[in-house]
Chain A
Amino acid sequence: MTEVHTASARKINSIVHIILIISAIAMLIPFIWMVLTSLKTTTEATQIPIRYLPETPSLRGYTEAIKQSAFSHYYINTIFTAFMKTAFPVIFSSMAAYAFARIRFPGGTFLFALIISVMMVPNPVFYTPQYMMMSDLGLVNTVTALWITSLISPFATFLLRQFFLTISKELEEAAVLDGCNPFQIYWHIMLPLVKSALVAIVIIQLQWSWNELQWPLIINSSPEKMTLSSGIATLVSMFGTDYPVLMAGAFMAVVPMIVLFFIFQKQFIEGIAFSAHKG
């Protein structure tokens, strides 16, 4: 009886493995193809019958993408924007989240609901008025316009409040007796306790702003002010069907986030899973 049981369990196990391996390969195909194509010559990339591997891998795609486009600008703009759109929301959100979670004050529930309700609004609803605002301030086609509208994050506020709510009261009571003000309690006691949540939010914000397309596309049109995302989108019109150059550009745009992902994958994955669990 037990033997039959383990035999069937083993069979199911190997079926599961086969399904997972095939699916994992399918998920990876775009990455593999991106790298292979980026190393091919232009003719090899569109050859019929299809060519899997480049004859002699060439870096022409990479040098061409860098030489012909404002790639260094894309990089600098993206990194700077991602930094601004991560540092500020994390600081502001954690402060607000602490106040909403741990201090009862008049209007607190209403104001929290107000901030959270923004999460339900589709982003494009904001874009035209934000564009007009940037236009009034003379910020259209500037790097500032890329991040100035995103210095706060309702999502991060919501998530961090969930984390602050789970911390036991005794921890802050001692600090209150010592005469700490709420900001000191937040800074010295509470913030270190939600470090893992902060790391998760840093990663999520970085990823969002790194990958965002629509707003950069709307607000900036000169190559020097573009991000990698909008810059890559314009490569298509510059290089048309020179696929090795396009793939090289695409690869260079995704590599930083992928490297970051591999370094922090534990925090990346557990941060998200953990936050979902709490929510």
Chain B
Amino acid sequence: MNSRSRYVWAYIMIAPTLLGTLIFWGWPVLQSILLGFQQSENFGLINHWVGFDNYVKLFSDEEFWQNLRNTLYYVVLFVPITLALSTFFAVLLNSKIKGLSIYRVIFFLPQVTMPAAAAMVWVVLFAQDFGLINHILGTRIAWLSNPNYAMFVLVIVGVWGAIGLNMLLILAGLQGIPKSLYEAAEIDGAKRMGKFRYITIPMLTPTLFFTSIILLIGATQIFDSIYLIIGKTNVALPAVRSLVYAYYQNTFVYFNPNYGAAIINVLLLINIILTGIQFALQKKWVIYD
């Protein structure tokens, strides 16, 4: 078969994915950027060009900065905790231990659980009067409506849901480390901790890098748990409201798609910057053999 007809076949085979990507994702990204510079009537039916007006308004809005701080605060708490606990459990499960597959299944179970359903049981668990958490701790904390605690609830729920998948990714990374490295270290008299510090961690850095990027991008988009667990009338909402939540509220509750677009475009920019930083820092800590 000549190369020309191979080309044609290749284009035919990528056509659905390419067209779908351009129509449903590529075009919307451009639209979203445009919407940020426009003022629309009737939800995007008539658009006027307003330059940076939406952004000027956004950056002078204290609520936006609060939402941005909330989002970053969540990221800063959620990502390291998830990464640390996932690594911890992956290391424990990497040894030859009885009931390995049962633990794997149990830890992964939250991953397959619908967030909307899980959120409801978390509301019951964290209830002030009849909640199991307060009962176990012997406290009477208003977890969900106290601005000081609401964020911790979201982090706990987030970590609970994320450990399974990330533990699995890290476990796969651990099993990819050649056994010969450990054997060589044992001959040199390395102890458990030494082997962990000088072999496991360095060899695991590519996996940790990959996992941290996925976690970071996911964490900046926190919405479900705020919407479901905190809810729109909760006094603690301002203390946890994320950029995506604010985007949703402005666009689909207040019907201001332009202000919403400005918010979400800022998040897009933040994600590009954060990923860029991670790739730049990669050279400092990720070890490829």
Binding site for B on A (CB under 8 A): 13, 16-17, 19-20, 23-24, 27-31, 33-34, 37, 45-50, 92-93, 95-96, 98-100, 103, 105-106, 108, 111, 114-115, 118, 120-133, 135, 149-152, 154, 157, 176, 179, 181-183, 186, 207, 210-211, 213-214, 217-218, 228-230, 232-233, 235-236, 243, 246-247, 249-251, 253-254, 257-258, 260-262, 265, 268-269, 272-274, 276-277, 279
Contacts and interface: CB of A to CB of B under 8 A. Distances in A.
Nearest to B108: A269
B271 A48 contact: no
Contact of A269 (B168, B223, B252): B168
Given A129-B27, A181-B9, A27 B110 contact: yes
B116 A124 contact: no
A179 to B, nearest CB: 7
Nearest to A273: B172
B260 A128 contact: yes
A126 B24 contact: yes
Given A50-B130, A111-B14, A115-B21, A179 B1 contact: yes
A218 to B, nearest CB: 6
Contacts of B132: 29, 33, 50
B115 to A, nearest CB: 6
B221 A124 contact: yes
Given A128-B35, A149-B24, A233-B227, A261 B13 contact: no
Q: Is the interface of B mostly helix, strand, loop or mixed?
A: helix
A92 B172 contact: no
B210 interface: yes
Contacts of A251: 117
B198 interface: no
B172 A276 contact: yes
B114 A229 contact: yes
A126 to B, nearest CB: 4
B220 to A, nearest CB: 7
Interface residues of B, number: 96
B277 interface: no
Given A105-B7, A183-B12, 18 more contacts: A17-B98, A33-B124, A99-B13, A103-B10, A122-B221, A123-B221, A125-B28, A125-B268, A126-B28, A126-B29, A152-B17, A154-B17, A181-B1, A218-B248, A233-B227, A235-B120, A254-B113, A254-B118
Given A124-B247, A254-B117, A176 B1 contact: yes
5 contacts: A33-B132, A115-B18, A125-B32, A126-B28, A214-B248
B104 interface: yes
A109 to B, nearest CB: 12
